[in-house]
């Protein structure tokens, strides 16, 4: 079987990796974007709130109650969470048998941010690259490209603005699970718009389409 799409997102206690990684959500799709399975993780350094480095503004945005977070039955510290994520990847590798291909093709919004936290707290960059291809499908990068090409207005870039611009279903922003499903809807719509424009040279040259679609 060929590689699978894996859309993921994280919520953190701040913008730098010195702040805590708190939640993660992964959703796996086949090549036609049929949903296959997912994984939701709640994590942190420990169950002791005093161990967390956070920014109040970040917690206001992600709406995570840290006291309730550390008391969850499914809470895992970083070591436990990393083991669970690795086992999940190994189980899916055995289940879907991608052959010599990487198991997952990442689909993200500003994915380098999430990968930075995951590879800092849960697995090494080398371990990450065993499962996730380095060519990331990033809806933010696509939006910037479309803006630069004069096809989208300058205000469109953040996930919520793309959802609104494309008239898609809006989820609960800055909740990892909702952000992932919005990202997938945006990416599918971006592909649809570009593919529909292939035969209209007044919109996008075909050689540029190949760049955006990877």
Q: What does the pLDDT read at residue 3? A: 85
Instruction: Indicate whether 88 and 127 sit together in one domain.
Output: yes
Q: How many CA atoms lie within 13 A of 78 on its CB side?
A: 18
What stretches of 31-158 show up as alpha helix (H) in DSSP? Answer: 56-62, 66-70, 78-96, 111-121, 125-131, 139-148
Q: Is the distance from CB of 106 to CB of 134 less than 8 angstroms? A: no
Residues 186 and 204 in one domain: yes
- How far is the C-alpha of 147 from the C-alpha of 139, rounded, in Å? 12
Per-residue confidence (pLDDT) for residue 73, from 0 to 100: 97
Residue 101: per-residue pLDDT: 78
Q: For the chain, what is the domain count?
A: 2
Query: Do 92 and 193 fall within a single domain?
Result: no
3-state secondary structure of 4: strand
Q: Do both 121 and 17 map to the same domain?
A: yes
Kindly tell me the number of DSSP H helices and DSSP E strands found in the chain: 9, 6
- Which of 137, 163, 180 is at the close of a domain? 137
Instruction: Kindly list the distances between the CA atom of residue 30 and the CA atoms of 1, 33, 34, 55, 98, in Å, as whole numbers in the listed order.
Output: 10, 5, 5, 37, 11
Whether residues 126 and 145 share a domain: the answer is no
Looking at residue 102, what is its pLDDT? 82
What pLDDT is attached to residue 206?
56
The count of other CB atoms within 10 Å of the CB of residue 210 is 11
Same domain, 102 and 81: yes
Nearest alpha carbon to residue 123 among 80, 155, 91: 80
Range of the domain at 46: 4-137
Q: In order along the chain (214 residues), what is the average pLDDT of each group of 10 residues?
A: 89 97 97 95 98 96 96 98 97 88 92 97 96 95 93 94 93 90 96 78 55 54
pTM: 0.89
Asked which of 103, 137, 171 is the last residue of a domain, the reply is: 137
* 49 and 93 fall within a common domain: yes
pLDDT for the residue 99: 76
Strand ranges of the sheet holding 35-44, from the earlier edge strand across to the other edge: 75-77, 35-44, 21-29, 4-12, 104-108, 137-138
Give the bridge partners for 40, in sequence order: 25
Q: According to the model, what pLDDT value does residue 135 have?
A: 92
Same domain, 39 and 104: yes
Instruction: Report the CATH number that the domain containing residue 50 is assigned in CATH.
Output: 3.30.420.10
Out of 137, 155, 186, pick the residue that ends a domain: 137
């Amino acid at each position: 079987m060929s590689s699978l799409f894996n859309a993921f997102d994280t919520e953190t206690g701040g913008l730098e990796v010195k702040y805590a990684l708190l939640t993660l959500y992964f959703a796996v799709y086949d090549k036609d974007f049929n949903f296959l399975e997912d994984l939701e993780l709640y994590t942190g350094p420990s169950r002791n709130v005093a161990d967390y480095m956070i920014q109040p503004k970040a917690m206001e945005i992600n709406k995570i109650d840290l006291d309730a977070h550390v008391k969850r039955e499914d809470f895992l510290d970083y070591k436990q969470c990393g083991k669970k994520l690795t086992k999940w990847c190994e189980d899916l590798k055995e289940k879907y048998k991608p052959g010599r291909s990487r198991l997952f093709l990442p689909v993200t919004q500003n994915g380098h941010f999430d990968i930075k936290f995951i590879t800092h707290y849960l697995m090494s960059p080398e371990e990450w690259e065993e499962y996730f291809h380095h060519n990331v499908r990033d809806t933010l990068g696509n939006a910037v490209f479309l803006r630069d090409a004069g096809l989208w207005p300058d205000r469109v870039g953040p996930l919520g603005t793309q959802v609104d611009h494309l008239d898609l279903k809006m989820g609960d922003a800055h909740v990892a699970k909702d952000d992932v499903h919005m990202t997938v809807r945006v990416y599918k719509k971006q592909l649809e718009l570009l593919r529909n424009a292939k035969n209209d040279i007044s919109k996008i040259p075909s050689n540029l389409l190949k760049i955006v679609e990877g």
